[in-house]
Amino acid sequence: MRKYILFAMIIMSIMLLFWSCNRSAQQSVTTNSSTIEYTVKKTNLTDTVSVSGKIMAESSAEIKALVSGVVKKINVQEGDTVKAGDVLVELDDSDYRLSYLKALQNYETAKNSGSRLLVEQRQLELEIAKRDLDRCKITSPVDGVVTALNVKVGDYVSKGTSVDVVAKVISLDNLYVSAAVEEVDYSKVKVGQMATLAFDAFEGVNFPAQVTYVGSEAQSSSGIVTIPIKLKLVVQNLQMTTARTSSGTQGTSEDAQSMAQGFVGQSAAQRNELLKKIIPGLSCEVQIIVLAKNDVMIIPTAAVSFEGGKAYVNVKSGTTTEKREVTVGERTSGGYEIISGLNEGEVVVVNKTSSSSTNRGVQMNIPGFAPPR
């Protein structure tokens, strides 16, 4: 019995010793520090604001019956292209034609009576009768495509009811994106900035666009404050389009072209086919380029420290490092722009805390820079 007890105590002592050593080793790994060296180089600095949008038509019309009657003839089908003034639907105008003829006869009789007031009355009745007769031919007020046709021959349409909407015509020539930006990003978004649109319906293709409107009144929904904006597709002379950055300077649309290579890189015929498929109601993800600078020096955010309102970095000098004051400019999710204090080719040292238990380090999103794993 004593042998079993002694054997158990020996086993427990060994396990306790192993656990103590293992914990000590884990603590030493957790507190272990290393450094990352980043070579300063010039690159293009781009920052974006992401919003969700929806394709809308600048010009559209719900065409209603302005007089009551039975549908006698339908001249179009859904999907047809029409011009403003084209007759879409014709109503049986027999009653209205009779009313017009009676009004015309009364007007001619009144002219022979010599009463000025009676003439004016009969003339007004004639104009109303003519107007109602003309309204038996239901026309499109805009150029566009018939997207809905709600009647068929023999239907009775009644003025002033829900069935008075006969058809819907939408112009596909002036589509725009309706979106809203949250107040935290409101100050960054300006008219003229370039953007890209990504649709679920067109995988791998981003369409170039441009901000054309920023609302002057905020809206609130469920406690979230947003400002409405509009964007327009840019499909011609993309190379000549300019984009206003958040710093107020003008830059070319090279960044938008780069982000929209799936569209820009295609032939004119392929682009036209894609554009024909963009229709009102489609949802899209919008990336607005709010900052675009070329050939600027940028370093990881973690490389910059601040003391007394001044910015400092650790610069490698031979086998040692020196702490140097720098002037920083724009800050993005990628890092800090360095205006002065560093030269291209110099190496900055970034402290990095490593951990074997997670095998994760500080992630710094810098173009061309991938921290070692």
pTM for the whole structure: 0.62
Residues 181, 159 contacting (CB under 8 angstroms): no
How far is residue 292 from each of residues 40, 264, 289, 311, measured CA to CA in Å?
Answer: 19, 19, 7, 23
Distance CA 157, CA 166 (A): 8
Note every long-range contact of 152-158, with CB atoms under 8 Å and residues 24 or more positions apart, other chains counting.
Answer: 152/71, 152/74, 153/71, 153/72, 153/73, 153/74, 154/70, 154/71, 155/70, 155/71, 156/68, 156/69, 156/70, 156/71, 157/65, 157/68, 157/69, 157/70, 157/71, 157/91, 158/65, 158/68
Please report the domains of the chain, with CATH numbers, ordered by start residue. 30-45+297-353 (2.40.420.20), 48-58+173-291 (2.40.30.170), 66-169 (2.40.50.100)
Residue 43: what pLDDT? 85
Per run of 10 residues, the mean pLDDT along the chain (length 373 residues) is 55 55 38 72 86 92 92 94 95 96 94 87 96 96 92 89 80 90 93 92 87 94 93 65 40 54 69 83 93 86 91 90 91 83 91 44 39 35
Distance CA 205, CA 3 (A): 77
Structure tokens at 292: 């675009």
How is 307-370 classified by DSSP, letter by letter?
ETTEEEEEEEETTEEEEEEEEEEEE-SS-EEEEES--TT-EEEEEEE--TTT-------BTTB-
